[in-house]
Amino acid sequence: MRSENRLLVVGTTSDYIDWIRSTCPQRALFITDPFVRSNAREPAPAIHEEVLCELTDNEPVLKTVTRHLKRWGLRADGVACFDCESMALAALLAQDFSADFASLSAVNNCRDKLVSKILWQKNGIGTPRIAPARNIEDVIDFFSTLARDCVLKPLTGSGSELVFHCKNEKECRRAFTVIQDGLRQRKNHRLYKGNSYDSPPIIVEEFVNGSEFSCDFFMDEEAVTLIRLAKKIPSSFGPFGITMGYVLVDALPQGIDLRMFCQYLARAADVLGIKRSICMADFVVRGGDIVLLEMAPRPGGDCLPALIRNALQLDILALTLDAAQKRPLRIGSFRPSRPFAGVRIHATQGGIFKRINFASVEQNPRIKEIHILRHPGDIIRMPPEDYDSFVLGNIIFTPENAMDLMGECRRLLDMIDVEIESP
């Protein structure tokens, strides 16, 4: 018999839906965009487990979900979200159903890269200097005042999409134009909803040179429990900011105290309005100081959930559901017993995806999981046109030499045969 309660999982991908259905059966009601379902390779949930509706207009979504719950005799007892573009909708649904999720104001503070950094700066939390760029003159003025490299990016957005590192005025001008064009092309994408496309909102910020990390943590009334800590392995190929992979680490760089770091995260989350949530944060360590880049009331994505599952024996998706439904949380040590890494497989050209051959690596005992995200016939488009389709998959493995992770990732990728037919 189906449980009366259901947790609303808002706007996630088909692979996450399949994962949650396997590990947390009969707990979730998935609010899914029809485009996601029509392109899914995984089996569709049962009719009572999923609501298919356009997620661009909040009011029809609320009405559709309400009808579905009534039809099947279900009650929403929590809300979870794993994608940036769906967090605002998740906050509104949580408000309407009196469920637990970050407030809409907290979500908006996180999503707006200008607002979040201004709030942090006002409260003494280290973050890059930043300014809005309404036109190219704003960019050049900031760059001249800064007298060092800068980064241009959309006001909203995610990851490295349309993010550019600029070292001179010429690069600033080119990046500003590319971002403007990119935002216009993405005017119907929910990730950029709310932007004015006559004058696309762009920000320019100080480039912070240092080792980049990310973490997941549980924030509960100003107390933080660290769930995982990962160092990013930068890519030598492709646009600025592309991550080749991640390695879970058992400590922060020397000189950074763990207890003080958790207090720092708690202050940063509280400033944004986050009171209780599993969160992710990206930050740079520069000269022994923490410089926060972004934070969101959701766990980190990409290959991180699979990496966490292997290294820490922890299901971060299930943990997020437990937190949303206020179940007891079993969070172990964030320190892996041995090094674990995840390397992302990127296409080096656009075209029609044919296959990936893993024969030379799949029998290696250090390979723990292989995930293929693309299927034969998929169209691969390269950045800056598309930052999603050129990610072909990832590999979870235990590295031989933690001191040469970039080299080991490159050697592993060189052993994989990727076939993409030119258009």
State the pLDDT at residue 315.
97
Mean pLDDT of 251-260: 87
pLDDT at residue 178 greater than cutoff 70: yes
Provide the edge-to-edge strand list for the sheet that holds 202-206. 130-133, 202-206, 150-154, 164-166
Structure tokens at 64: 């559709």
> What is the pLDDT confidence band of residue 199, given thresholds at 50, 70 and 90?
very low
Which residue in 323, 308, 321, 314 sits closest to 218, CA to CA? 323
**412 vs 370: CA distance, rounded Å:** 12
Which residue in 57, 60, 59, 111 sits closest to 81, CA to CA? 111
Write the pLDDT tens digit of every residue in 282-304: 999 998 899 999 999 999 999 99
**274 vs 282: CA distance, rounded Å:** 16
> What is the pLDDT confidence band of residue 193, given thresholds at 50, 70 and 90?
low
State the pLDDT at residue 340.
95
Q: Are 142 and 131 in contact (CB under 8 A)?
A: yes
pLDDT at residue 112 greater than cutoff 60: yes
Cβ contacts of residue 79 below 8 Å, gap of 6+?
7, 8, 10, 90, 91, 93, 94, 97, 99, 100, 101, 324
Write the pLDDT tens digit of every residue in 344-403: 999 999 999 999 999 889 889 999 999 999 999 999 999 989 888 999 999 999 998 777
Cβ contacts of residue 344 below 8 Å, gap of 6+?
243, 244, 245, 302, 303, 391, 393, 394
Mean pLDDT of 201-226: 93
Which residue in 414, 407, 415, 411 sits closest to 360, CA to CA? 415
pLDDT at residue 30 greater than cutoff 70: yes
**397 vs 303: CA distance, rounded Å:** 11
**138 vs 96: CA distance, rounded Å:** 40
State the pLDDT at residue 198.
43
**311 vs 280: CA distance, rounded Å:** 18
pLDDT at residue 312 greater than cutoff 70: yes
Least confident of 70-74, 97-101, 239-243: 239-243
State the pLDDT at residue 156.
85
pLDDT at residue 3 greater than cutoff 70: no
State the pLDDT at residue 402.
76
**415 vs 423: CA distance, rounded Å:** 25
**135 vs 131: CA distance, rounded Å:** 11
Q: Are 310 and 368 in contact (CB under 8 A)?
A: yes
Write the pLDDT tens digit of every residue in 120-153: 999 999 999 999 999 999 999 999 999 889 999 9
CA within 13 Å, CB half, 28: 28
Q: What is the mean pLDDT of the chain?
A: 92
Question: β-pairing, 5-10 with 28-32?
Answer: parallel
Structure tokens at 292: 């926060």
Phi and psi dihedrals of 385, rounded to 5? -65, -45
pLDDT at residue 415 greater than cutoff 70: yes
Q: Are 19 and 42 in contact (CB under 8 A)?
A: no
Mean pLDDT of 79-83: 96
Q: How many residues in total does the chain contain?
A: 423
Write the pLDDT tens digit of every residue in 46-75: 999 999 999 988 999 999 999 999 999 999
Cβ contacts of residue 18 below 8 Å, gap of 6+?
42, 43
State the pLDDT at residue 194.
52
Beta bridge partners of 420: 353
Helix, strand, or coil (residue 283): strand
**Cis amide bond preceding 384, omega within 30:** yes
Domain annotation for the chain: domains and CATH numbers = 5-101 (3.40.50.20), 129-206 (3.30.1490.20), 211-421 (3.30.470.20)
Q: Are 19 and 28 in contact (CB under 8 A)?
A: no
Percent of the chain having pLDDT more than 70? 97
Would you call 378 exposed, middle or buried from its count of C-beta atoms within 10 A (0-12, 13-18, 19+)?
middle
Cβ contacts of residue 263 below 8 Å, gap of 6+?
224
